[in-house]
Every structure is written in C-alpha cells, then in structure tokens.
Structure 1
Amino acid sequence: MKALIFDLNGTMIDDMLYHTNAWKDIMNNQLGGNFTFEQVKQNMYGKNSEVLIRMFGEGYFTDEQITELSFEKERLYQQAFLPELKLLPGLTGFIEKAYRNNIPMAIASAAIPFNIDFVLDNLNIRKYFSAIVSADHVKISKPHPETFLKAAGLLGVSSADCLVFEDVPKGAEAAFNAQMQCVILTTTHQPDEFAHLPNILNFSSDYTSAYLQGLLK
C-alpha cells in the first residue's frame, strides 16, 4: 500500500441521507415525481446529471436545467447538513497518521467541486490530500474506473499500490475495474450488497475498527 484514495460522501462523512432527502425533495416537490426514498437511494451514484437522467430519462432536461437543478440540490443538502458536518469517527487520526508517514492521499468523488470544497474548507483538511478528482475532471463516472485511475496518476502510483475507501457498490465496482483493493464503510450499504465483488478487504462502520487502525502501524 503506497497510496490511499477516498471517496467523499458516505465514506469520509456520513451524509448520504441528506443527499437522498435533497434529491427526493426536488424530484417530487419541484419536478412532479412520485419516488420513494428507497428508489432515490438506489440511484444515488455518479454525477448529478446522471442521477437526473436515470430517474427521468434521457432528454427530459436541457443541459441548463440540469446545471440549475444540480446546484439547487447541493444548496439544499449543504444547508441541511452543515450543522452535522464532521468526519467519521477515527478518520481525523487516520489521515493525520498517514500524512505523517508520507503516504499520499487523494479524494476521488463523483461530487462537484462545490461540494468537495464545502467539506475540505469547513473541516480544514485540504492539506492532507495531494490530489482531488471530482465530477468535473472525468468523462465517465463510477463504476467506470476513470475516477480512480486519474487519482492514482496524479499521485504517481500504480493501481496495484492504491487502497480505495468506498461506501457504495458502484464505487467498489469502479475500484475493481481499476484493479484496486477496497475497504467499505458501511454508512449506506450493507456487506451483502457487495457480495459480487472480489476486491473487498474489509467492512467497517467507521475508522476506529481494529482492521483500519492496524493498516498504518
């Protein structure tokens, strides 16, 4: 293990409930949908544009409408989540120890920079990450491997030397497609939902687990 690559939402912070609620609010109350929480939750991966297309169909929105809806959703999410914004238990010490051990770290997320900046700057943790890959930096989002491969390239390490931290099956699948091992944070999905993926090393509810604490001895 020469580098650590973190997904952001649901992996570093436990915020997927807030994302799902923000999308559900917009889809049902503004766009006239009738989606359940579970329907929205199962489609919460990839870029915002992909989420909207997945739920409403190709060509339903113009590019301008998608951009406007995306930022409206993020504003709703940030307003609701800001009072609860904090890293998962144990993560502060984990990234500090990796930083002191000169292990390069990256964030590789389907979030737009607006949301990544919201987390990094409010929590003052930007210094720990040598590379950031957002939705704006890739053509094809997870489960395509581009997000993680670009992060590895920016860190200057091979795929085989990267350990990915994820919380959703499509993200873990992207790690598998990038030929990277993966640790799952069970904030959003349960272990049985990852049974089809052979690259999962561990399931942990947060970063205080003995397995994760033992990684950086």
Structure 2
Amino acid sequence: MPSKTTAFLFDLNGTIIDDMAFHAKAWYHILAEDLGADLTFEEVKQEMYGKNAEVLVRIFGEDHFEKNEIEELSSKKENYYQTAYKPHLELINGLQDFLAQAAAANVKMAIASAAITDNIGFVIDNLNIRQYFDALVSADDVSTSKPDPETFLKAAEKLNTAPAACIVFEDAPKGVEAARNAGMRCVVITTAHPKEDFAQYDNVIGYIADYTDPYIKNFFQQP
C-alpha cells in the first residue's frame, strides 16, 4: 500500500459501477426529449456533471425553473435511470475482492459522490456492499459540487483521516481535480475517459481499467 494511506474514497458512477451511459440516456430523455433543449446526445454527456439542479441551471438559466420543478425533474431523471439500469447493476470487475481486502487490511472507506443519497443507497444496497463503507457523502451533503473539494474533505472528516492519507478512486477529470483541490492522491479508473484527459493533474498516481489491476493489488502488500 502506498505510504501513509489509511483511507480509500470512492466516487460512485463510473468508479464503483459502470453506469454513465444510463445516466446519459436518462438526462437526454429529460433535457432534449421532455424539455426540448437543443442538445445532441454527445452535448448532454458533456453537461451532466455536478448536482442535478446545477445541470438544469447550467442549461436553462438561473430563473427558468421553480425549486419544486427542479426537484420533480430531478426525481423523474433518477427514476428513468434506476428503472433502466437495475437489470444491469453490477460492480466493476474485481471490486468485490478489493473491498474485502481493504476491509481486512483495516483501511477506512467512504463513498464521496455527486450522486444523490437515494442513488447511492440504490447501488450499495442492491449490491450488498454497504458494510464496507464507514461514511457516505452525497450531493445532498454538500453545498458545492466537484471540482470543489468539499465532497472529499467531508468524507475525510467523517473518517477522521487527514486528506494526505486518503487515496481517491475517480473516473472523471472534475473528480480528479476535486481530489487535487482537497490535497489527495488519486487513482483513475478509465471507464469513461482515456488517460490523456487527465494529463494536467499531478495528483494521479496510477491508472486502472478495473480492480483486478496488479497496481492496486500491491496496495495490500506489507513492506
């Protein structure tokens, strides 16, 4: 394990499960088909980061929707997503064993995600992995989304762990940037972006395709 590491912080979407395509389809359904936004599917994929409310404000403007409308649209989007994705719900290859090994090595673990609390529960309860996580931080727990460091700093605080002792597992550039802003090292899983998209970040310590990669297996070898 890299020196002075006592905690692993996991993003959710694209990091624990490979579900970003289902989020993209759900957002396209809401934004382009239901609301009539002039966006291609690829443009929707570029905009679907941060909290659901932030996505809607970014595309339609600050005063376009009332608060209750945003809440209804957010709920509708997540219903589209969960209904479509549930038959395909599975952990990224190797993660079950990796979590078990980390727990056996007394590594503290948290989920630190821009997903809403309900979506985190949907994943970890259907996959029976809640017991591995000592803390959960969702979009509902922070005021500012990634790349702001608040999500990761709150997770470290809940784990009573210094930021420098955390390793973040992320799949998105804004997540890696958030980890850097929090003073944390990051392992990138290349489910959604190639290595080239992370070239500017000096906190990346490795790249993996999934959790069977020998690089992270070495995290549990004692010196």
TM-score normalised per structure 2: 0.95
Determine the structure 2 residue equivalent to 1:37: 41
Give the distance between the partners of 1:103 and 1:51, measured in 2 at CA: 34
Q: 2:14 aligns with which of 10, 18, 22?
A: 10
**Alignment partner of 1:107: what SS?**
strand
Q: 1:19 aligns with which of 3, 17, 23?
A: 23
Q: What do residues 37-86 of structure 1 show as CA deviations (whole Å, max 9, x unaligned)?
A: 22111122111111111122221111111111111000000111001100
Give the distance between the partners of 1:200 and 1:4, measured in 2 at CA: 14
Give the distance between the partners of 1:55 and 1:191, measured in 2 at CA: 28
Give the distance between the partners of 1:37 and 1:193, measured in 2 at CA: 20
Give the distance between the partners of 2:192 and 2:48, measured in 1 at CA: 11
Code of the residue aligned with 2:211 in structure 1: it is Y
**Alignment partner of 2:136: what SS?**
strand
1:142 equivalent in alignment to 2:146: yes
Code of the residue aligned with 1:84 in structure 2: it is H
1:210 equivalent in alignment to 2:221: no
Determine the structure 2 residue equivalent to 1:122: 126
Q: What do residues 155-183 of structure 1 show as CA deviations (whole Å, max 9, x unaligned)?
A: 01100000000010000000000000001
1:74 equivalent in alignment to 2:78: yes
Q: 2:88 aligns with which of 53, 76, 84?
A: 84
Code of the residue aligned with 2:42 in structure 1: it is E
Question: Structure 1 segments of 4 or more deviating over 4 A?
Answer: none
Give the distance between the partners of 1:195 and 1:42, measured in 2 at CA: 18
- 1:20 is displaced (CA, Å) by 0.6
TM-score normalised per structure 1: 0.98
Code of the residue aligned with 1:57 in structure 2: it is G
- 1:106 is displaced (CA, Å) by 0.2
Q: 1:65 aligns with which of 43, 66, 69?
A: 69
Q: 1:191 aligns with which of 192, 195, 198?
A: 195
Give the distance between the partners of 2:63 and 2:204, measured in 1 at CA: 36
Give the distance between the partners of 1:55 and 1:171, measured in 2 at CA: 21
Code of the residue aligned with 1:45 in structure 2: it is Y
Determine the structure 1 residue equivalent to 2:111: 107
1:200 equivalent in alignment to 2:198: no
Which blocks of at least 5 consecutive residues in structure 2 are unaligned? none
Q: 1:174 aligns with which of 168, 172, 178?
A: 178
Determine the structure 1 residue equivalent to 2:136: 132
Code of the residue aligned with 1:184 in structure 2: it is V
Give the distance between the partners of 1:36 and 1:213, measured in 2 at CA: 40
1:160 equivalent in alignment to 2:164: yes
Give the distance between the partners of 1:216 and 1:63, measured in 2 at CA: 47
Give the distance between the partners of 2:35 and 2:149, measured in 1 at CA: 32
Give the distance between the partners of 1:192 and 1:14, measured in 2 at CA: 20
Identical-pair percentage: 54
Code of the residue aligned with 1:108 in structure 2: it is A
**Alignment partner of 1:163: what SS?**
strand
Which blocks of at least 5 consecutive residues in structure 1 are unaligned? none
